[in-house]
Chain A
Amino acid sequence: MRNLMIVAGKEFRDGLRNRWVLAITLVFGLLAIGLAYFGAAASGQVGFTRVSTTIVSLSSLAVFLIPLIALMLAYDSIVGEDEQGTLLLLLTYPMSRVEILAGKFLGHAAILGVSTLVGFGVAGAVIAAFGSVELLGELVAALALFILSAMLLGWAFIGFAYLISVSVAEKSRAAGIALVVWFFFVIVYDLALLGVLVGTGGEVSEGLFHTLLLLNPTDIFRIVNLTFFEAARTQAGLASIGADAAFHPALLLGTLLAWVAVPLGLALWIFRRREI
């Protein structure tokens, strides 16, 4: 346990040092403030828009960005150390493989978690201070849910990154697979689902369709943030079908948490069994 924290601490400090934390925080913060301010530019006005519009447009952009950042952050976590020879060395130290992998995951999760919290949190404070927010409580609640779900989404993709990282022997291959994983979950899956829906003339059973939505962490993230606003339903595309189903937020967040645990658990399982 002690060694796990040492590994996690080093990983986090690396994130601070090579500016990952700063870069992600800035991207998230600027994205949120920019969308809040220029979100209504299309309808001919500049200035802070309604909280619901901001969160909805933010979540539809973040759903592309967060998985990509998470995969880029962590795809080389194990395979990178393997290539430079430090993994072999770490394995000869008095700690288990679980401690190595879980420690590194914790460090990466902290990098993304802190950046998400600070980036979007500061943006929320700016919106609250300069925008004409009528219901401060609504903003806080919506933003809190958004940040929580964004963190879980990021951690789920860090989990994927670890799964990739323990399964391949070369960094470049891990990067390639990470890109494919991103493409599949963020773009292909929804298109395929839409295709099925259109192809069958909407004959897919509602229960099956809802299950299919839960099988993609990015869709869960979308639904969580859409269901929060009644008003947003009309402009949300595919995920609004899920919103209609009135998934309970706790179920959605729980499923998202499972999406963090399953890839990470698989990565641990592979890493423990792997011959060096």
Chain B
Amino acid sequence: MTQPVIEMRSVGKRFGKLTALDEVSLTLGEGEVLGLMGHNGAGKSTSMKLILGLIRPTSGELRVFGHDPGGAAANDLRLRLGYLPENVQFYEQLSGFEVLDYFARLKRIGRGVVEPLLERVGLGHAMHRRVKTYSKGMRQRLGLAQALIGEPRLMLLDEPTVGLDPMATRDFYGMVDELRGRGVSVILCSHVLPGVERHIDRAAILGEGRMLASGSIDELREAADLPLVVRLRTPRAAESLAESLRPHGVLARVAGDGRLELKVPVRAKMAVLRELMADPETADLDLEPPTLESLYAHFDGTLRDRAESTPAPAPAFDAREGVSA
């Protein structure tokens, strides 16, 4: 890999007294898909706007395709960029075709791309209807088609699956996989992205303007050290099973559906599984590694723990809380 698509080095952004982003470092390579997570006000939108060149960092260094996104090369960079803003409402009085045609022309692309794009996101049948008549999911697809104009090399998608039904969500992730296959770098930005684990290379979790954790899902799982959940169907009693697995640090309880639920530390996974498989009474078992959602909750929780356990908060922290209150 030659040059990272995005390179953030201890980037900070302040709005007056408010620190929106504090010493955040991040790199994104070609064809990589990054999940950027965090609750409201965590710094996701600020990061996106920095990368889009809409605002300039107050400290640190930011390069997109090797250039300053807010600098002289901005217009060239923007031709290579696709962006889906959160909650965008397109011009209601225009048809889907007209909306996309407008944006395509602004991106200096002929209108020949409009129809295929609308077909691709599944809006071919409704392209001449007014956007006013579109459902939430259709609007989201139109937004996606807009972001895909001009075959961008970097796509920033803010809450892309909000309002999509499960089928459309699956289609959407299929499209992300396809883009990744073609070497397009993608940032998916969300509070939570259920089921996204298989489609992203890395996740970055932001909280209160700082990077709480970043890395591949496996790295995050390792860092969080959250237990796996094993669901088990067996005639054995929970107590006896827990007793026999206690050396591995396993916790057992009866789940609602009559199964046993075991919380297994990651390092004991294979040992416990071998033992359970060897047990002739085990009828069935399910294995569930910690989801991105639970990892997110974990890292976000560490932030809160830190805040609560600090009796005299640092001045910077104090100021930030003062603003958010």
Q: Using CB atoms and an 8 Å cutoff, list the residues of chain A in contact with chain B.
A: 2-3, 6-7, 10, 14, 17-18, 84-86, 88-95, 275-276
Question: Which residue from chain A places its CB closest to the CB of B83 in the assembled complex?
Answer: A92
Q: B106 and A3: CB pair below 8 A?
A: yes
**By the criterion CB–CB under 8 Å, are A276 and B49 in contact?**
yes
* Cross-chain contact B85 with A18 (CB below 8 angstroms): no
Give chain B residues whose Cβ lies under 8 Å from the Cβ of A91: 52, 54
**Interface residue B185 (Cβ < 8 Å from any Cβ of A):** no
B75–A94 touching, CB < 8 Å: yes
Binds A, one of B88-96, B207-215, B312-320: B88-96
What are 9 contact pairs spanning A and B, CB under 8 A? A18-B93, A85-B89, A88-B54, A88-B85, A88-B88, A91-B52, A93-B106, A93-B107, A94-B76
> In the bound complex, how far is the Cα of B102 from the Cα of A7, in angstroms?
8
Q: How distant is the Cα of A10 from the Cα of B49 in the complex, in angstroms?
A: 26
Known: A85-B87, A93-B78. 18 other contacts (CB 8 A): A2-B108, A7-B106, A14-B91, A18-B93, A84-B88, A85-B86, A86-B88, A89-B83, A89-B85, A91-B52, A93-B107, A94-B79, A94-B107, A94-B108, A95-B75, A95-B106, A275-B55, A276-B54
Please tell me the number of chain B residues within 8 Å of chain A, measured between CB atoms.
Answer: 29
Residues of A within 8 A of B102 (CB): 6, 10
A17, B93: Cβ atoms closer than 8 Å: yes
Q: With A and B bound together, what is the CA distance between A51 and B75 in angstroms?
A: 54
Q: Which residue of B lies closest to A5 (CB)?
A: B105
Instruction: Say yes or no: B87 contacts A92, CB within 8 Å.
Output: no
Partner of A89 from B74, B79, B108, B146 at Cβ < 8 Å = B146
Distance in angstroms between the alpha carbons of A195 and B81 in the assembled complex: 59
Determine if A275 and B81 form an interchain contact, defined as CB atoms under 8 angstroms apart: no
A275 to B45, CA, bound (A): 14
For window 141-182 of B, CB contacts with A under 8 Å fall at: 146
4 closest cross-chain pairs (CB), A and B: A85-B88, A84-B89, A94-B75, A94-B78
Once the chains bind, are B93 and A85 in contact (CB under 8 Å)?
A: no
Question: CB-CB < 8 A to A17: which residues of B?
Answer: 93
- Chain A residues near B75 (CB, 8 Å)? 94-95
Chain B residue at minimal CB-CB distance from A99: B106
Task: Report the minimal beta-carbon distance from A78 to chain B, rounded to whole angstroms.
Answer: 14
| B83 & A6 in contact (Cβ 8 Å cutoff) | no
Whether the pair B106, A90 counts as a contact (CB closer than 8 A) is yes
Q: Which residues of chain B are within 8 angstroms of A84 by Cβ–Cβ distance?
A: 88-90
Could you say which of A91, A92, A93 has the most chain B C-beta atoms within 10 Å of its C-beta? Answer: A92
B134: CB under 8 A from chain A?
Answer: no
Q: Which residues of the other chain, A, contact B83 by a CB distance below 8 angstroms? A: 89, 92
Closest CB-CB distance, A124 to chain B, in whole Å? 32
B55 pairs with A276, CB closer than 8 A: yes
Bound state CA distance, A120 and B120, in angstroms?
A: 49
A223 to B146, CA, bound (A): 50
Partner among A10, A14, A92 whose Cβ is within 8 Å of the Cβ of B78: A92
Min CB distance A191 to B, Å, is 40
| Cα distance A84–B105 in the bound complex, in angstroms | 20
Q: A17–B102 Cα gap in the complex (Å)? A: 15
Shortest C-beta distance, A98 to chain B (Å), equals: 13
B106 touches A6 (CB 8 A): yes
Measured in the bound complex, the distance between the Cα atoms of B9 and A232 in whole Å is 73
Within the complex, what minimum Cβ distance (angstroms) separates A186 from chain B? 30
Contacts of B49 in A (CB 8 A): 276
Find out whether the CB atom of A14 lies under 8 angstroms from the CB atom of B107: no
Q: In the complex, which residue of chain B has the Cβ closest to the Cβ of A7?
A: B106
- Identify which of B52, B93, B106 gathers the most chain A CB atoms within 10 Å of its CB: B106
Is B65 an interface position by the 8 A CB rule? no
Residue of chain B at shortest CB distance from A2: B108
Q: B106 to A86, Cβ gap below 8 A?
A: no
For the complex formed, measure the closest distance between the CB of B82 and the CB atoms of chain A, giving whole angstroms.
9
- Bound complex: CA A18 to CA B55 (Å): 35
A228 CA / B239 CA spacing, docked (Å): 104
What B residues does A93 contact at CB under 8 A? 78, 103, 106-107
CB distance from B15 to the nearest CB of A (A): 7
Q: Which residue of B lies closest to A100 (CB)?
A: B106
Give the distance in Å from the alpha carbon of A91 to the alpha carbon of B85 in the complex: 11
How far, in whole Å, are A86 and B74 apart by their CA atoms in the complex? 19
CB distance from A33 to the nearest CB of B (A): 31
In the complex, are the beta carbons of A86 and B91 less than 8 A apart?
yes
Chain A residue at smallest Cβ distance from B51: A92
- Closest Cβ neighbor of B80 among chain A residues: A94
Complex Cα–Cα for A3 and B89 (A): 21
Contacts of B53 in A (CB 8 A): 92
CA distance A18 to B53 in the complex (A): 34
Scan B103-128; emit 1 where CB is below 8 A from any A CB, else 0.
10111100000000000000000000
Chain A positions within 8 Å of B88 at CB level: 84-86, 88-89
Q: What chain A residues lie within 8 Å of B108 (beta carbons)?
A: 2, 94
Q: Which residue of B lies closest to A17 (CB)?
A: B93
B233-255 vs A, Cβ < 8 Å mask (1 yes, 0 no)? 00000000000000000000000
Residues on A with C-beta less than 8 A from B105 are 6
User: CB-defined interface of B47-66 with A at 8 Å, one 1/0 digit per residue?
Assistant: 00100111100000000000
Does B90 contact A92, Cβ atoms closer than 8 Å?
A: no
Residues of A within 8 A of B106 (CB): 3, 6-7, 90, 93-95
With A95-B106, A276-B49 in contact, do A86 and B90 touch (Cβ < 8 Å)?
A: yes
Whole-angstrom distance between the Cβ of B213 and the nearest chain A Cβ: 28
